[in-house]
Amino acid sequence: MMKINLLLCVFFFISFFANAQQKVISDIKIQGNKKIKSSFIKKIASIKPGEVLDSLKIEEDIKLIKQLPSVSHASYQVFISKGNEYNVFYNIEENFTLIPGVNFYTTDEDEFAYRIGLYEFNAFGRNIIFGGFYQKDIYDSHALNFRAPFLFSRHWGLAANYQDLTTLEPVFFDDETAQYRYNNKSYELLGLHRFNFNNRLEFGLNYFTEDYRFRGENVNNRPELNVKKWLAKGVYEFNNLNYDYQYVSGFRSIFNFQYVTSTNDMLPDFFIGWNDFFYFLRVGNKGNWANRLRLGLSSNDETPFAPFSVDNNLNVRGVGNTIDRGTGVIVINSEYRQTIYEKNWFVLQSNVFIDAGTWRNPGGDFGDFSKSNNVKVYPGLGLRFIHKKIYNAIFRIDYGYGISENATKGFVFGIGQYF
């Protein structure tokens, strides 16, 4: 009996000694922030005072902080406070976050369109995004956007969007391509949920009206539509990207699914889903290889109003403004980015890219993906002018030159990397 008691005493003292030696967080201190609230950083951090010091959790926090629009770079330090208690310092380098946005493009078909906007990416010092844009693409359009991923907690947020978008859209009938004035006015409300560092979900509803008005003389009596719709939406993202100023490494996947109801047989109920896969690789000290693959399908109705479009500003640089539509899509964008000059806040990058895509015709089959008239291949060159201390302050110029059937060529200008 004495031996058992002795063993219990030894076990108790060993356990007590081991627990006494655990490193405990005394306090979390935020340094370098001016506009970002320290309370916000502490709110989204996974570590808390009184918990055991865990370097893996700290490193995950730093990766999350570096993904915030308001942060250009972040690091951490750990200092002893007293005994086995430690202070953790999160060092923040802030971005300038009141950002004007400019996108415009042209092709050898004499098309010209632009979009200008203004967004605050760190409203109230809590990384709330608020702003809007004005677009001129023959017709006037505008939008307002609000997004607060951490509004309620480090896991729950909210987004709301309003859009009134009007464009000239080609609609592809069997015997002709008709031009329509297309208007989409929408109201959207989304819930945002972050499960952990890598995984997040957004879900909600969108109420919108689509209006198609024939442009020009309607000699073939083509339909004109004004249809009210509801859209149920879900987005699931896995994000394991790591940022180091202009360089990105890692993998990211974004899956979108939407179900749309309609009150008109010309625009029937349909589903649409697509997945964007991103892969980024650092190459040496100054190189970055970037890739995006999009796979998408929708209901395969034989309709001239198919949801996937071939577009200069969305998927294939140089191809033109909505030159075709389909009910399925495969697009790959691959580019190599090389820093050719860097001093203090300024970076000049060059890039070599190839954009390639193919579409399934409305009512067609999967064999459409291999048909030569559906395949678009556009290699090209570009430049990036980057300000390291302003969020998304990347002015890009790309020139795409088509080498596939019935190809065009043209410039694409914009703010931010193409993907």
The structural domains of the chain, ordered by start, are 2-94 (3.10.20.310), 98-415 (2.40.160.50)
| DSSP of 60-124 | HHHHHHHHSTTEEEEEEEEEEEETTEEEEEEEEEEPB-EEEEEEEEEETT--EEEEEEEEEEEET
Residue range 161-179: mean pLDDT, rounded = 83
Which tokens sit at 343?
A: 């001093």
CA separation for the pair 348, 346 (Å, rounded): 7
Phi and psi based region of residue 266 (left: phi greater than 0; alpha: psi -120 to 50; beta: remaining): alpha
Looking only at the bridges linking them, the beta strands covering 85-94 and 24-31 are: parallel
Confidence of residue 106 (pLDDT cuts 50, 70, 90): low
Element (H, E) at 236: strand 225-239
Using a pLDDT cut of 90, give the percent of the chain over it.
68
Residue 405 DSSP class: T
Locus of tokens 């043209």: 410
pLDDT in tens, 374-400: 999 999 999 999 999 888 889 999 999
Give the pTM.
Answer: 0.80
Residue among 163, 119, 110 at smallest CA distance from 138: 110
pLDDT at 229: 92
Residue range 142-168: mean pLDDT, rounded = 96
pLDDT in tens, 189-227: 999 999 988 999 999 999 999 998 988 877 777 888 899
List b or e across 324-344, with b for residues whose CB sees 16 or more CB atoms inside 10 angstroms. bbbbbbbbbbbbbbbbeeeee
Torsion sign (Cα): 44, 47, 49, 55: negative
Residues 113, 116, 122, 123: what is their CA dihedral angle, to the nearest 10 degrees? -130
